[in-house]
Structures are given as C-alpha cells and as structure tokens.
Structure 1
Amino acid sequence: MKALVLIGLIICFLETPVVFAEQTTVPSPTTIVKKPDWFKQPPANLPQNITTATRNNKQIILYFYQDSCPFCAKLLKHDFGNPDIANKTRQYFEVIPINMKGTKPVTDISGVVFNEADFAAEKDVLATPVLLFLDETGTEVLRINGYYPPAKFEPALDYVEGKHHREGSFKDYYHQLKSGTPPEDIPSNADTEEPC
C-alpha cells in the first residue's frame, strides 16, 4: 500500500510543474499569508471536530502547511481568499490547519495524540500544501497534494460536498466537468486513483 502511495506521489510531483506553469507569479518563500479567521484553532481533536462538523452538516479539511511555503501562500490568497470559494468552504467544511513541522497536539481519529509534525509524517505529508478531505466517519475521501488554482480547487470542494467520491475518482469527475459531461453522468464503476 505504501509503495502505491509513493508511486502516486511521485507521479503527482512529476506532473506538478504543469500546474505551477499555469501560474504567472509565485510568492516569495519568505511571504507569510495569514490564515483566515474562520479556520479552526489548535489543538486539533479529530473525533470532536468530526462530531461537531457532522452535527452542522459539514465535512473536515485537514490543511497541512508550512509558514514559508510559497504555494501555501497562493492557496490562502487565491483560493481561500476568493469570496465564492471561501463562502462555499465555510458553508460545507471545517478547515483544520496543521503545521507540517509544528509541535501542537493533534488527536487522530482513533484517539492517539501526536504532535503536528509526527501526525503529518503519519499521513505521508512530504511537502505542502496538502489537503485531506474527511467524511463524517473520518475516512479520507480526497487528497490534494500541491496547489490547485481556483478553477480546479472549487470543483474539488463540489466533488466532496456532493459526495461524488462514492461514484468515482476526482480525476474522472474533473475531466468530465471540463469536457462538459454533467457530474451526475459519471460512471459508478470509475476507478479511485488520486488526483494529480
């Protein structure tokens, strides 16, 4: 299983420059963009966070970041800074920021307490940003490694919020959206590979 995850990450990182090449500017590595006030505040306690989110008809996004990460800054500025995306995220999700190198406590779904850095390692976070979307059971339903521009990030929110992960992969969902095929026409037997 770890070999498959490693292969998937390698493929994602090999394709990542194509995504970055679409962008015209990259923030300086020293640029720190403030996280929105509506992000959850530490410490993260996933059993409690999931219970509260589910009670409010929301799902969880674990946002792994580093303060000096230029693409984390782009995510905060261009995606979460976009009013439509911010409103949709606030309506359907609770965002829990986790510093990839941090020391604050994180209680995982099974009740084990880690510091942020160890929890990031446990979740195979090798670089940032990484967003893990969790359903009401704490199951990861989508993983985004790297930066998605708003035109791709918003469909990822729709994919999870609409529970399209039950019907197929985000990669298939996104390609069908781009081709004009309605999301409800996604075949139910679509594979479940990670997005790149």
Structure 2
Amino acid sequence: MRTTGKRPRTTALLATLTVLLCPPLVQAEDPAGRLLGAKTSEHPTWFKESFLEIAEDVDEASAAGRHLILFMEMNGCPYCYKMVEENFKHGPHRDFIRTHFDIIALNVKGDREVAITPDTRLPEKALAEFYQVETTPTLIFLDATNTPVAKIGGYRNPEDLKRILDYVDTRAYAEQSLADYLRNHREQGRYQLRTHPQIREIEDLSTVEGALAVLFEDDACLACDALHDGHLADPAVREALADFTLVRLDASAETAIVAPDGTATSARTLARDLDILYRPTLVLFDQGEEQARIENMLYRYHFIGMLEYVGAGHYQDYADPFDYIDAKTAALLAAGEDVSISDE
C-alpha cells in the first residue's frame, strides 16, 4: 500500500519497520491487552533455496526462461500469510507461477546478507530502502539484467495477480507500463457500480471543503463487491467515513471532472495521473493534496486507521499512517483492550 503521494517514506520505514503493512506487531511492555491476528505461513517447498546472490539467481532463472520474484515479507504479517496460502500454495495459478517464476522469500526485518550485485551487499532489513519497499508483502519482479520491471505491494487476489504475472511473463514491460497493460487487459462486465448512502455526486472536486475520499472503481473490478459488502457496510467504517466527502469515480470513464487541485480532467485521466493500478482504490485528500491511499486489501482495523489518519487530521502529527496506527494500538493495549489486525 502506498500510503502517501507527497513524500518519500523509505527512511522512516527503516526506523519503524515493524509497522509496514501489517503493523503494529510489537506490543508495549507488559500490555494489558492482547494483539491478535498475526499469522505466519510456511513457504511452498518449491520456493527457491538461494545463497542470496541475486545476480546469480537472475541468471539461473533467465537461462530457464523464467523471471525472478523477490517476495518481501515480515513475520506475523496476515497479508503475507494470505498471499502465500491463496496464491502460491493453493491458488488456481500455482502451477503457472511455479513454471514461469523463481521465488526467493526475504524478511524485511531479517539479518541475512543479500548480494543484490557482486558489489552491493545488504542485510535483508536494508532492502526496504534499496527497493523502496513500503508494504508487506511486496513482490519485486526482476528481468534478465537484474532490473526491477514490476513491483506490487500488498495482497492481490489470484485473478488480479495473474494479470500482473502475465505482464511480466510475456515481457510486456518492454513496450508499456504495468498501469497501461492492466488498463488494456480489463475484463469488462465483472462488476456493476453500486450505490452507497455516503457517496456524493460532485464533478468539481476542488470545491470540497475538508477531507475528500475518492473511490476509484470500474466494471472490471474483482474486489469491489467485497468492499461494499464488507467495509463499506460496517457501521464503524461508515462512522470514520463521515469525516470525508466521499466521491466515487469510474476509472475507465471519460466523465469530465475537476481534480482536487483545480485541473480540468476526466475520471479516466485522473486515475492514470494518480497511477491507480488496483481497483478499488480509495485516495484520501485534505487541503487539496493527497495524504494517503488504500490501494489493496486491508483488514478492518487498518482500513479504519487509514481513514482516521486523514479524516481526523492525524497526518499533521504523524509522518506515516502506520505511525499513527502504531500509537493508537499501543494506547488500546495499555488500556486493556484486545486489538485484532486480521478479520480471518
């Protein structure tokens, strides 16, 4: 999840790596409450056992006609668990992945030395800065020259992941960006835009006073029904959304709008300009600027925390949404409340 569009975050992440995408996993000393929902999955046996000489691993994969994936994870991360279980171990495209990709699992808090190139050696926990990893899990796809050609953060369902795998496997990256490829390979008619009592019809987004939440969907969205049936139907989520003006845009439509910065544009162009790769994506603005975004599947606790970060103005006090969520969690635990970071 890219949580902000206005400032680099890698340095801050290295200082607080425990709060990447599945934070906070570190409890206060002797907490009265319990932190629930942390999960760790065993990797499939076909994950590559590597000496962590990445250039050599790339050469081996390339010689076999495959690409190398660096699977960046963290112990206890429920989203990493879900990615492994539902895609790599039991997913419908497991055999395709195994045939066309080599996967090396790396722990973003680990101490193993990784040789990115013969001249660049880093401990695992320094890779977040090197590869600008902002979330766990993150998948980094490397081509035959050891160059990243695609990177995705957060959990992806099997069908969404398959399109990204196809982009890399067919080497479409030589001709177009991942965003353009995904737009050109949409399966229309998978979803019909749904109503919601908090969605407002506003064409000029620059006129909105206070926090603005822009929900990007389209008719190819695989996860939009789940969002509406789940989080958007939840009373606690609706309460957090009450701090926003909520607007929904069809990311595939040429509907004329005015962007939050006052630029005349269209819904489709704004989605492209904001580099929206995932549907649904919720971009959170305040004072005319993007402060955070939710661009992958989040469990309820983190979803609400993201909304509070912008809607309640916590972005003014915390540089990163998960700095706020970490502080919130510590306070809840100290008060004797249990905190669950997973809905499953």
After TM superposition, where is structure 1 displaced by more than 4 Å over at least 4 residues in a row? Answer: none
Question: RMSD value over aligned CA atoms?
Answer: 2.6
Name the counterpart of 1:155: 163
| Aligned positions, number | 166
2-structure distance, mates of 1:113, 1:99: 15
The answer to whether the 8 Å contact 2:66/2:102 transfers is yes
Deviation of the 1:63 alpha carbon: 0.5
Matching of residue 80 in structure 1 with residue 88 in structure 2: yes
| 1:31 aligned partner, one-letter code | K
The answer to whether the 8 Å contact 2:69/2:104 transfers is yes
Distance 1:83 1:74, change over 3 A: closer
2-structure distance, mates of 1:8, 1:138: 29
What secondary structure is seen at the aligned counterpart in 2 of 1:127?
coil
Distance 1:93 1:8, change over 3 A: farther
Per-residue CA distance 1:33-70 (angstroms, 9 max, x = gap)? 11111111243111110111111111110110012111
Greater mean alpha carbon deviation, residues 129-138 or residues 84-93:
84-93
The answer to whether the 8 Å contact 2:113/2:123 transfers is yes
Distance 1:158 1:8, change over 3 A: farther
Aligned equivalent of 1:195, options 274, 277, 281:
277
1-structure distance, mates of 2:88, 2:126: 26
Matching of residue 118 in structure 1 with residue 126 in structure 2: yes
Structure 2 stretches of 5 or more lacking a match? 9-20, 22-35, 189-271, 279-344
Structure 1 stretches of 5 or more lacking a match? 1-5, 11-15, 17-27, 181-189
| 2:117 aligned partner, one-letter code | I
2-structure distance, mates of 1:37, 1:9: 39
The answer to whether the 8 Å contact 2:91/2:158 transfers is no
Deviation of the 1:124 alpha carbon: 1.4
| Bigger fraction of residues in strand | 2
What secondary structure is seen at the aligned counterpart in 2 of 1:80?
helix
> How does 1:1-196 map onto structure 2 within 5 Å?
7=5, 29-179=37-187, 195-196=277-278
Distance 1:9 1:163, change over 3 A: farther
% same residue:
27
| 2:52 aligned partner, one-letter code | A
1-structure distance, mates of 2:177, 2:51: 31
Deviation of the 1:159 alpha carbon: 0.7
| 1:150 aligned partner, one-letter code | P
2-structure distance, mates of 1:109, 1:194: 31
What secondary structure is seen at the aligned counterpart in 1 of 2:93?
helix
Per-residue CA distance 1:131-152 (angstroms, 9 max, x = gap)? 0101000111100011111110
What secondary structure is seen at the aligned counterpart in 1 of 2:186?
helix
Distance 1:9 1:168, change over 3 A: farther
The answer to whether the 8 Å contact 1:57/1:92 transfers is yes
What secondary structure is seen at the aligned counterpart in 2 of 1:132?
strand
Deviation of the 1:109 alpha carbon: 2.7
Deviation of the 1:8 alpha carbon: 8.3
2-structure distance, mates of 1:152, 1:131: 13
Per-residue CA distance 1:107-156 (angstroms, 9 max, x = gap)? 01353111100122211113200001010001111000111111100111
2-structure distance, mates of 1:116, 1:99: 6
